[in-house]
Amino acid sequence: MSLTREQEIEIEAAVFRRLRDHLRERGDVQNIDLMNLAGFCRNCLANWYRDAAEAGGTAMTKEDAREIVYGMPYDEWRAQNQREASGEQLATFERNRPGEH
């Protein structure tokens, strides 16, 4: 199959929106669980979003990028959804600690 660059961009944007919306709907899934299982979390996604914006010449704060990913201010999401990580979750994270994203 051969896609035009425009088609590729449209499809990739739709996939990103679907992933973003899925993560917004699944506030029960903790970021540490995502990190431990997949090596990235909502904050990583926000960082990548910001990096892409800035690479394209658009200035963006970390808070702005997180609000795009979380659908609300990060502190608000944390208050509504984030639970304290268990010892097991923290130990797994330390064993698999990822590098810079």
- Condensed to tens digits (0 to 9), the pLDDT of residues 35-59 reads 999 999 999 999 999 999 999 999 9
Neighbours of 81 (CB within 10 A): 15
**How do the domains of the chain map onto residue ranges?**
5-95
CATH number assigned to the domain with residue range 5-95, chosen from the 4 options 2.40.30.30, 1.10.3210.10, 1.10.3340.10, 3.40.50.300: 1.10.3340.10
Out of 5-19, 29-43, 47-61, 84-98, least confident range: 84-98
**Cα–Cα distance measured from residue 90 to residue 74, given in angstroms and rounded to the nearest whole number:** 21
pLDDT in tens, 52-79: 999 999 999 999 999 999 999 999 999 9
